[in-house]
Structures are given as structure tokens and as C-alpha cells.
Amino acid sequence: MSHDDKRFDPQRQHRLLSAERHAYWNPSQFLARFNLKPGQTALDLGAGPGFWTLPLAEIVGASGQVWAVDVSQELLDTLASRNPPAQIKYKRSELPTIDLPNAFSDFAWLAFVFHEVEPPEKLASELRRVLRPGARVAVLDWRPDAEGEQGPPRADRVTPAQVIGWLSAAGFADAQETWHDPDNYLVEGKA
Ligand SMILES: C[S@@+](CC[C@H](N)C(=O)[O-])C[C@H]1O[C@@H](n2cnc3c(N)ncnc32)[C@H](O)[C@@H]1O
């Protein structure tokens, strides 16, 4: 199977912005655990139409930056149509390559995209490269053993242990699962 087969279909983008999804995740509240500060730079990798990008931009404020990176111009166009503040920057780019300088960012956020990218080892090393010393990566993704029926095919998903292994091998310290629910998990690591 090519990795394009795993890739999110932009025609399903309305699901990413549904009221039900907002009610479940409450993205501003979920992101508060990362203690980002005004003026910081954050990367939203695989940002899609911006479900997490807009709340990230509120947290870092006008003096900060949030880079919305996505392979899909259609999804970035949707984000651009949602009246985003000026601190949101756009980068059409195909992961695992992250077309940004070394030690560029204070935080990297990957929501439901890590499992779509190959090779994952390269993604992990690119994440390490673009983060400043002490910066954090956070990976939110689907559990292969999820209780619910939603989400991508189970065969496409990756386990928290796999993500921890790739991040650790790339030089992230202290990579660990910091949260989960019956269907999803969060892995964090420190650069
Ligand atoms: C399931 S959506 C999640 C979007 C967003 N993170 C969210 O949670 O609402 C996956 C996103 O990753 C993007 N994506 C998938 N593979 C990618 C790649 N290799 N490089 C960049 N973006 C990619 C898709 O275009 C899509 O926007």
C-alpha cells in the first residue's frame, strides 16, 4: 500500500470541524496542558482546516507564530477562509520533510497525522531538528485497539509504544504517553 492510500481525503474535511468534535475535544482546553506562552512559535503539522491551529494562535497571541503545515492546499485554503489572525503562517509541505529551519520552534503538534506519514523515523528526526532545545513535541493519534468504530483503518494506525520508540531514537528525552481515552492517545517528548 502506498502512503497516499492512508492520507486523509480533503472531501471529508467537514468532519474535522464538526460541532460534535469541538464538544468532545474542547481544543483550547486540551491544548492548555502544554503551558505555551504568548510570543512562542508553534508548529501545527498536518493542520488541515485548522481545528487546533486557531486555538493555538490564541494561546501564543499576536506576538507569537503558529505555522500550519499541510500537504493539501485545499485544506489550507479552508483554514485561510476562517478569518485566521495574522500570527498564523502557512506552509504547503509534504511530511516527513519539514520545510523550516533548524531549532525554529518551541512546540510541535501532530494531531491525527503521525500515522499517515512515512517513513516515521524521518518524521521523528525532522521534528527533533526543527525544535529548540527543551521544546516539546506532542502526538495525538488513534489507538489501534480503540473501543470505538470511528477513525482510520486499524491497520494504518501506530501504537503509542511505536511513537515513543521513534521519538526516542531521534533524540527526544523522556518520550512517554501522557494521556489517553478509549480511542486515542497522547505522546509527548522533550527536545
Ligand atoms: C486526519 S487530518 C487531521 C487534521 C488536523 N490535525 C485535525 O486534527 O483536525 C490529517 C491531516 O494531515 C494532512 N497530511 C497527511 N499526510 C501528510 C503529509 N505527508 N504531509 C503533510 N500533511 C499531511 C492531511 O492533508 C490532513 O490535513
Q: What is the pLDDT of residue 1?
A: 45
Pocket test for ligand 1, best of 71, 92, 126, 185 (most atoms within 8 A of CB): 71
Ligand 1 atom nearest 116 alpha carbon: 16
- Does residue 142 have its Cβ closer than 6 Å to ligand 1? no
User: What mean pLDDT is predicted for residues 64-92?
Assistant: 97
pLDDT digits (tens, 9 = 90+) for 103-121: 999 999 999 999 999 999 9
User: Band of the pLDDT at 3, cuts 50, 70, 90?
Assistant: low
Radius of gyration over every alpha carbon of the chain, rounded to an integer in angstroms: 15
Q: What is the pLDDT of residue 4?
A: 64
Mean pLDDT of 72-97: 96
Expressed in angstroms and rounded, the spacing between residue 119 Cα and the centre of ligand 1 is 15
Find the range with the poorest average confidence among 4-8, 95-99, 146-150, 151-155: 4-8
Residues 36-58 have a mean pLDDT of 98
* pLDDT score, position 7: 83
For residue 13, what pLDDT band results from cuts at 50, 70 and 90?
Answer: confident
Question: Average per-residue pLDDT in the chain?
Answer: 95
Which pLDDT does position 12 carry in this prediction?
83
pLDDT of 6 above 90: no
| Residue range 141-161: mean pLDDT, rounded | 95
Distance from residue 70's CA to the centre of ligand 1 (Å): 6
* pLDDT of residue 72 exceeding 60: yes
Half-sphere exposure of 136 (CA within 13 A, CB side): 17
